[in-house]
């Protein structure tokens, strides 16, 4: 078990020197949603949906970008079906580019989620369980939602891959569920279950077993050794 004190000092002295992935072109501006994600091409020749601090329409919700990054990375630890997410640098040449009405880019670090070219988005109950490997992929969705205290569930189905499911847009996961990080609330909720309410019949039993992290502790309690 990792103690909260093990987090002390982990980010002191850090800079924004990240330069592994860079934005090279903007394909479409952001909309009117929570964080005004816009579509762009990075220097790895892939398309990404990109969220920036200035794109968050409420200053107090800027923590949603950190939450989204952490949950996406946690999903990869248990092989949950999450969209590939990463940091991305916004170069100086995009300074003041208007990504949404009244919202201009600033150079720096942003959050990027790799685009699925032909995606079908849904927000209601999980669907297409019998298609592709979704009986196993759905098990990862349930595990991630409970482990990271999910809220505002959103799914993408890849129409090019028999509607394989992806969980995405995790900015409102982790309590208190409005894009902020509150240490005391996280501690209070660390041992509380948060099951996805969808019916779980038809899930792959082997996938269920593989998605149970050792000790069944939540990501809030697991600490830096887990994320």
The pLDDT tens digits of the residues spanning 93-149 come to 999 999 988 889 999 999 999 999 999 999 989 999 999 899 999 999 999 999 999
Reported as a single tens digit per residue, the pLDDT across 144-176 is 999 999 999 999 999 999 999 999 999 999 999
Compare 182 and 91 and report the one with higher pLDDT. Answer: 91
CA distance 210 to 227: 18
Statement: residue 31 has pLDDT above 80: no
Backbone phi and psi for residue 128, each to the nearest 5 degrees, phi listed first:
60, 35
Confidence of residue 224 (pLDDT cuts 50, 70, 90): very low
Domain assignment present for 6: no
CA distance 223 to 216: 13
Planar angle of CA 196, 78, 166, nearest 5 degrees: 60
Domain assignment present for 98: yes
Statement: residue 36 has pLDDT above 50: yes
Domain assignment present for 108: yes
Domain assignment present for 88: yes
Domain assignment present for 178: yes
C-alpha dist (Å) from residue 115 to 140, 156, 194: 20, 10, 28
Looking at the chain, the whole-number percentage of residues with pLDDT higher than 90 is 68
Domain assignment present for 189: yes
Question: What integer pLDDT is reported at residue 100 of this predicted model?
Answer: 86
Q: How many domains does the chain have?
A: 1
User: The whole model's pTM is what?
Assistant: 0.87
Q: Which of 21-30, 73-82, 159-168, 178-187 has the lowest mean pLDDT?
A: 178-187
Residue 49 lies in domain? 15-220
Helix (H) or strand (E) holding 100: strand 98-100
Domain assignment present for 169: yes
Domain assignment present for 9: no
């Amino acid at each position: 078990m990792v103690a909260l004190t093990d987090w002390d000092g982990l980010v002191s002295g850090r800079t924004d020197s990240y330069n592994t992935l860079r934005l090279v072109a903007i394909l479409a501006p952001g909309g009117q949603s929570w964080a005004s994600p816009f579509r762009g091409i990075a220097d790895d020749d892939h398309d990404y949906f990109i969220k920036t601090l200035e794109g968050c329409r409420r200053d107090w919700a800027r923590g949603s970008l950190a939450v989204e990054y952490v949950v996406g990375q946690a999903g990869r630890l248990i092989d949950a079906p999450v969209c590939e997410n990463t940091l991305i640098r916004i170069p100086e040449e995009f300074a003041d580019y208007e990504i949404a009405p009244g919202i201009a880019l600033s150079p720096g670090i942003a959050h990027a989620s790799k685009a699925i070219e032909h995606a079908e988005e849904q927000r209601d109950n999980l669907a297409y369980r019998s298609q592709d490997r979704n009986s196993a992929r759905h098990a990862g969705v349930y595990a991630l939602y409970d482990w990271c205290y999910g809220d505002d569930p959103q799914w993408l189905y890849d129409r090019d891959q028999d509607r394989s499911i992806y969980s995405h847009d995790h900015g409102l996961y982790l309590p208190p569920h409005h894009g902020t990080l509150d240490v005391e609330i996280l501690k209070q909720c660390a041992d509380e279950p948060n099951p996805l309410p969808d019916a779980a019949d038809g899930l792959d039993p082997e996938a269920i077993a593989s998605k149970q992290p050792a000790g069944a502790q939540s990501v809030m309690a697991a600490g830096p050794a887990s994320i």
